[in-house]
Every structure is written in C-alpha cells, then in structure tokens.
Amino acid sequence: MDGFAYIETERLNIVPFQEVHLTERYLGWLNDPDVVKFSEQRHRRHTLESCRTYCLAMGSLGNLFMAICDKRTGVHIGNSTVSIDSNNQIADIQILIGDRSFWGRGLGAEAFSALVEALLEIGCFRKITAGTLAENEAMLKTIKKAGMVIECIRKDHYLLNGKPVDVVYGAKWNDRTAL
C-alpha cells in the first residue's frame, strides 16, 4: 500500500516487517504467555516457519504487517497488523509491544496513534477500527487516546482463562474522505 513504507514518530520507526525481524527474540515474545495474554496468539505455539507463513499470508491478502522499532537503538520491539477490507473501506489495527523492557512508556499508544493517523491520511479508508478484551485496560486507554470511540461490546465473546469475557471495539471515522 502506497504511503505505508515507513512511519516515523518521536520515539519509533514503523516499517514493513521483513525477514530480518524473524528472530528467536521475536519468537520469545509470541510464545510468552504474559506478552500475549490478551491476544488470540495465546492459543498457539509459534516457530520461525509459522511466522514466515503468517508474513506471506498477510501480504497475499493485501493486509499490512509492520515492525515497530525503537528509533534511538533500532531494536525491534513490537508489531502491528492492519487487516484491510478494501470493499468497505475499513482498516482494523492490531498491535503488540512484545519487548517487555519497553513496556510502560506509552510506546504502544504512540505507535497505534501514528498508524491510525497514517491510515486516515492516505484517504482510502472511511473507518479505522480496533478491538480488545475488556480486561486489557492498557489497550482500552490506547484506543481512546487515538481518538476512537467505543463502537460496541460483544458480551462474553471470548474465553480468558476459561471464563467468558467481553470484546470492546473502538472506531474512528475519516472526516477527510469524500465517499
């Protein structure tokens, strides 16, 4: 997608995910139960090969898979997937700051807000969305900080530790797009 080769924020560079990002360190995040506790990734065990397959699938479907890197050190600290529904002009963002040493600094919110703004700026989306488990307070704050409103709640939609939990969906509409 044009305009999405590179996003720069005050503290981050967000770039297309590439082979160089496929490392044992990265696998460590995906297989760490605490890192993925609110993600559907918690249901599977990842390998380098499963990650390669995912990367190829994302590209073939026309979606975006981005690496989030610390601007100062260049260290890969997280990822974002943007699922694109071109027919309905909707982009849905998922984000993960996997490197725990970068938690608690607001970097997830910084990356998420930058992605929302970049998607709105390119003008081909009328709506940007994101969802999270109701228990994921950090992501709920991130959604609101990016200017999204809570669009809906799906009651008892997923299981978390064997108990039903709600999924909260946020949305931001593009007032820059003439339909």
Q: What is the CATH number of the domain that holds 23?
A: 3.40.630.30
The rounded distance, in Å, linking the Cα atoms of 13 and 21 is: 13
Per the structure, the count of domains in the chain is 1
Q: Who has greater pLDDT, 62 or 152? A: 152
Within a domain: 103: yes
Within a domain: 99: yes
Q: Please, where are the H alpha helices in the chain?
A: 24-30, 48-60, 107-122, 137-145
Within a domain: 144: no
Q: Is 31 exposed, middle or buried (0-12, 13-18, 19+ CB in 10 A)?
A: middle
Within a domain: 83: yes
Within a domain: 161: no
Within a domain: 179: no
Q: Which domain holds residue 99?
A: 7-129
Question: pLDDT tens for residues 14-61?
Answer: 999 988 999 999 999 989 988 888 887 777 888 888 888 887 777 767
The rounded distance, in Å, linking the Cα atoms of 76 and 67 is: 7
Sign of CA dihedral 72, 3, 17, 100: positive
Residue type, 89: Q
Within a domain: 167: no
Give residue 4's pLDDT band: very low, low, confident or very high (50, 70, 90).
low
Paired with 79 in beta bridges are 67, 96
* pLDDT at position 124: 86
Within a domain: 173: no
